[in-house]
Structure 1
Amino acid sequence: MTRSETVHAGPLSFHCLVAGEAGRPLLLFLHGFPEYSGAWAEMLERLSDRFFCVAPDQRGYGSSSKPTEVRDYATGKLAADAAAILTHFAPGARAVVGHDWGASVAYALAFSRPELMERLVIMNGVHPVPFQRALAAGGAQSEASQYIHYLRSERAEARLSADDYAGMMRLFTKDMDIDWLRGERRADYLRAWSAPGALTGMLNWYRASPMKVADPGEPLADDPLAGLDPERVRVRPPHLLIWGDGDTALLPAAADGLETFCDALTRAHVAGADHWLHHQKPDEVAALIAEFCAD
């Protein structure tokens, strides 16, 4: 049975969904945009018989704290949140599982605190180096990511929330299958988005990101990664990348060359799924996680 717990980390508090028995190997699930802890309901249902599952509302989302400044959403602070939540429940995780923006936090945690995880699972999320290279190239990924400019704009809140979040729903569903987002579940998402301060907190993840997006057909003249020490962004724990092949927001180029930055990478593809693979193919995704995280 899934239950709610609150974790305090300094001045901030984090609402977490928890399922399974404490003492089992821990799986920490980190959601992306524009989701919240409830995004992991299918995974908790399928994995909590073997694992102790924790899924927080990350900073700025749902029922967790929502600092007001853009600088409060720097990746280092988000990774520190994840570390505090994880260590509240256990000394370390069998695996940290991240999707979309949650993948960015999971990667940052793997870079800075690899001792906190035995394994890393990423679902349609990106390592910063291959992604920045794809964003800078001016090709298909640059074109697919033009929405980032929109989300960083001062008018994003008004546009996305108008007409009962119709703008958010259009963005969420563009060229994707969202048959799973119906009825009470849709209402739950609307409640999460409309929590005081939530929409600005969610958008501040984009505003705080240093990622640079080229215009289509116009590669960036300067290398945004010049001088980066590759050892700072190396994934040392065993790493599973699960990819929904129909994703139109994150394209295959976003993960090109990932092996260069990993000690041990396994790739798994999920046919018939797009960016929202954990909702569309929950049995297949849960089975991949369970197999990778087994003793």
Structure 2
Amino acid sequence: MEPQHMTVDIPVGTLDVLEWRAIGAERGTVLALHGFPESPWEWEAVAGMLTRQGLRVVAPAQRGYSTGARPEDVGEYAIEHLSADALAVVDQLGLESVHVLGHDWGASVAWWLAGHHPERVTSLTVVSVPHLTEFARALESDPDQRARSAYFALFRQEGKAEDVLLEDGARRLREMFDEHVSEELVDRHLELVGSRAGLTGALNWYRAMRRYDLPAISVPTTYLWGRDDPAIGRTGAEATASRMTGEYRFVPLSATGHWIPEQAPDVVAAEVLDRVSSDAAPA
């Protein structure tokens, strides 16, 4: 099913949003937040499975990715603004709360929403990135995680990172997907981040990054992590459980790397559906 297109106004411009509508009676709405260097299309396979089970999936091209929302000031990419954008989408839908699904940087925004706005998050499914406090602790104390995140130093260099990642037809951006994502889907992602303006908007998320300290998470949460993820090590992934006060499920996936929504969309969809079904079950 082809998604519908909508727009959402935010203080710095307009977000482009994809909406996959539920087939049959609607059971709820999933707000799906993409990562780097991707686009809302990373959720296409997952959304196809969820809509057949009665869920609507709404996936914005986030700040910096949407062509109408690329502020120049790096400070405009602080996570408080990114989470406010996500809530603006929920508000436009006329909903008090939604099921939140996030991958990579989208997972970071999802964690922030659940930590600071739990009343807006019915359930949380996060993919790849651990609880932000534990990720920060791993970056500070775990040599393995520091090595895995060494690329942050390049990404935070304004101008140089764009030059390196865009040269030779954006070869290095394409190589990040390591053949785990179809060429057609990579091309769709690069429609947003394959230009200098789009890539700068996406990299500004890294440039605005700071140490994030979150409260414990009280909403029902599932965290999926690929054991072969080159960017996220075991330390933060396993320590995430210590930050949960609500019902929690940790799903480590063997023979799976960073691009879980594309590599294992059936697993992602099943975990979201399990959260939705648990929320709908009588107390």
Tell me the CA shift for residue 23 of structure 1: 5.4
Which residue in 1 is equivalent to 2:253? 270
Q: Aligned partners of 1:237 and 1:136: how far apart in 2? A: 27
Which residue in 1 is equivalent to 2:163? 158
Q: What SS class does the counterpart of residue 257 from structure 1 fall into?
A: helix
Q: What SS class does the counterpart of residue 65 from structure 2 fall into?
A: coil
Candidates 62, 84, 87, aligned match of 1:83: 87
Q: Percent identity?
A: 32
Q: Tell me: CA distance 1:64–1:272, structure 2 relative to 1, closer, same or farther (3 Å).
A: farther
User: Deviation digits for residues 198-235 of structure 1, max 9, x if unmatched?
Assistant: 11111110010014xxxxxxxxxxxxx8xx6xxx5221
Q: Aligned partners of 2:102 and 2:186: how far apart in 1? A: 22
Which residue in 1 is equivalent to 2:200? 200
How many pairs does the alignment contain?
A: 272
Matches within 5 A, 1:121-270: 121-154=125-158, 155-170=160-175, 172-173=176-177, 177-182=178-183, 184-195=184-195, 197-211=197-211, 232-263=214-245, 264-270=247-253
Please state if 1:290 is matched with 2:282: no
Q: Aligned partners of 2:172 and 2:26: how far apart in 1? A: 43
Amino acid of the structure 1 residue aligned with 2:243: F
Tell me the CA shift for residue 62 of structure 1: 4.1
Amino acid of the structure 2 residue aligned with 1:280: Q
Q: Aligned partners of 1:119 and 1:189: how far apart in 2? A: 27
| TM-score normalised by length of structure 1 | 0.87
Across the aligned residues of Structure 1 and Structure 2, the Cα RMSD in angstroms comes to 1.8
Tell me the CA shift for residue 9 of structure 1: 2.2
Q: Is the 8 A contact 2:46 2:269 kept in 1?
A: yes
Q: Which runs of 5+ in 1 are unaligned?
A: 212-224
Q: Is the 8 A contact 2:126 2:223 kept in 1?
A: yes
Q: Which runs of 5+ in 2 are unaligned?
A: none
Range with bigger deviation, 116-125 or 21-30: 21-30
Please state if 1:280 is matched with 2:231: no
Q: Aligned partners of 1:128 and 1:60: how far apart in 2? A: 21
Q: What SS class does the counterpart of residue 233 from structure 1 fall into?
A: coil
Q: Tell me: CA distance 1:111–1:80, structure 2 relative to 1, closer, same or farther (3 Å).
A: same
Q: Aligned partners of 1:18 and 1:196: how far apart in 2? A: 27
Tell me the CA shift for residue 196 of structure 1: 6.0
Tell me the CA shift for residue 272 of structure 1: 2.4
Q: What SS class does the counterpart of residue 197 from structure 1 fall into?
A: helix
Q: Aligned partners of 1:78 and 1:48: how far apart in 2? A: 26
Q: Aligned partners of 1:197 and 1:98: how far apart in 2? A: 24
Q: What SS class does the counterpart of residue 271 from structure 2 fall into?
A: helix
Q: Is the 8 A contact 1:17 1:56 kept in 2?
A: yes
Tell me the CA shift for residue 191 of structure 1: 1.6
Amino acid of the structure 2 residue aligned with 1:161: L
Q: Aligned partners of 1:275 and 1:6: how far apart in 2? A: 29
User: Deviation digits for residues 130-159 of structure 1, max 9, x if unmatched?
Assistant: 111110115100111100001111300111
Which residue in 2 is equivalent to 1:116? 120
Q: Tell me: CA distance 1:128–1:180, structure 2 relative to 1, closer, same or farther (3 Å).
A: closer
Q: What SS class does the counterpart of residue 100 from structure 2 fall into?
A: strand
Which residue in 1 is equivalent to 2:35? 32
